[in-house]
Chain A
């Protein structure tokens, strides 16, 4: 247990007591939700090195399932969480089975194509709300509807889920699964020669990632109470996940959380400064950030920090002598 984790955990637990008010509470919940989604993407994109650019398909499935159950059958939306995860895992298998025996580009192309396919289908299918989308309970019927006025209950639910996903990721990364994922990312051909069942482990990563991304989508739907094809399956949803994970550091445990901690407040700031026009600039900025990261520091800020820190500690003996 690194003490830095305890510090982070303490900060997160105490945040709503330190920064109070609806604005900060909402920002906290958004931050955690972004961290959950990015951490989910990180499992397959960061640890296993398979870059999905259409991860929104899992998020959207997770967002639609609860609201569908409510809209069509008046069930508590939370019952839709496992349904969303199941659908997402199925989609993961459909995408992953054929492409994981091929080179990485096929997988990436497939993710974007399937995400678009699902977005168009959902956008034209009345049963799931077509272009209008679907809504959750306007007034909560029981506590099971998980419809709260304040952001604080959501904040702590999200925090628990984040702890779950990070805990599971950490646990897996220390065992054979994690080592095999990293080997696949570092050198597939060599991994194969050592008996690593590459295709199967890529699938495990994708299925796990899909399930958690779906969970993130469900949490989103529970909090916001509305989803439509664009907010569920749109490319910007995929972009947010990628940039959040990449900025903090792909393949690291806390990278996505760090990315969320930077980007969510940043986005809220640009939105309030530039209003509607801000969102156009935001995505130009996102594109630029992704480009710069890819070109100069694919490992993200945590990797940058590690390199700087390593160089600093190496220089110490020299300064002492002087």
Chain B
């Protein structure tokens, strides 16, 4: 019974991983840029939720929507002000730009909010669900369900809608897309907005049961790296499956080996994936 609870709990958290990792892999596939500040986007989403709940007394819908909007705007601004300019430059500029951004955001958060952990009040999403003996906290359940829905939604938007196909066209072949009348710059800005928003909502969802602190971005960032590599370069469905799997593996590692091992196993798995199958589940390597 406990094992089942561990499994479901892991999958629910994994769904959140899937959500923010989808955003990261979308950018990676489209522009060949790894956003080292992606973890900080999640962190900001968490703080937006905290601020909305604590100072504006908003509910889950309010803080999720706020996180989405704030991060969407931030993503677009980051693209227009920074990414657009370094994308054709040397590798060092590409990597250091988002890395520098990550530091800036992380330590600004330290300065504004201090290093203390903050949690949302227990009654934000109250209750526990008893599913035939398995106890699932409502926050985790809601977070996992919403994350899964949004990730699937993102995949559908990318593959089934006009906007989505324009985004993918730019990812596929920028020149060809331009010839078809698509504006790559606009699509890329949109992609950054979506990517950041996915991280923000994930953060808002996770804030209901995961303590918020300025340094939390680092852990989420590395988790995202593992998930996108495991899923395969640029693949949203890959990130979805990989996210669920990583959440599950993490949970099982904590259960069987001890809480300390949850990250050790995942990071060790990352190295193993790089050695054995860097193209991940969906079979694509960058470049």
B86 cross-chain contacts in A, Cβ below 8 A = 294-295
Contact B264 A120 (CB under 8 A): yes
* Given A104-B91, A298-B96; 8 other pairs, CB 8 A cutoff: A95-B271, A103-B285, A104-B95, A116-B263, A117-B267, A283-B106, A287-B104, A293-B96
A110 cross-chain contacts in B, Cβ below 8 A = 270-271, 274
A309 cross-chain contacts in B, Cβ below 8 A = none
A292 cross-chain contacts in B, Cβ below 8 A = 100
Complex-state Cα separation, A135 to B95, whole angstroms: 35
The reply to whether the CB of B63 lies closer than 8 angstroms to some CB of chain A is no
A108 cross-chain contacts in B, Cβ below 8 A = 34, 36, 95
Closest to A95 in B: B271
Give the size of the chain B interface in residues (CB under 8 angstroms): 48
Q: A284-B104, A284-B108 are in contact. Are A295 and B82 (CB under 8 A)?
A: yes
The reply to whether the CB of A144 lies closer than 8 angstroms to some CB of chain B is no
The reply to whether the CB of B131 lies closer than 8 angstroms to some CB of chain A is no
Contact A106 B286 (CB under 8 A): yes
CB distance from A162 to the nearest CB of B (A): 23
Contact B287 A294 (CB under 8 A): no
Contact A102 B107 (CB under 8 A): no
- 1/0 contact trace for A124-140 toward B, CB 8 Å? 10000000000000000
Q: Which of A45-53, A169-177, A311-319 contacts B (4 or more CB under 8 A)?
A: A45-53
The reply to whether the CB of A87 lies closer than 8 angstroms to some CB of chain B is no
CB distance from B19 to the nearest CB of A (A): 19
The reply to whether the CB of A146 lies closer than 8 angstroms to some CB of chain B is no
B190 cross-chain contacts in A, Cβ below 8 A = none
The reply to whether the CB of B225 lies closer than 8 angstroms to some CB of chain A is yes
Complex-state Cα separation, A133 to B240, whole angstroms: 39
B218 cross-chain contacts in A, Cβ below 8 A = 116, 235
Q: A103-B287, A120-B264 are in contact. Are A113 and B95 (CB under 8 A)?
A: no
Closest to A288 in B: B104
Contact A289 B95 (CB under 8 A): no
Contact B100 A289 (CB under 8 A): yes
Closest to B277 in A: A98
Complex-state Cα separation, A103 to B91, whole angstroms: 10
CB distance from B267 to the nearest CB of A (A): 4
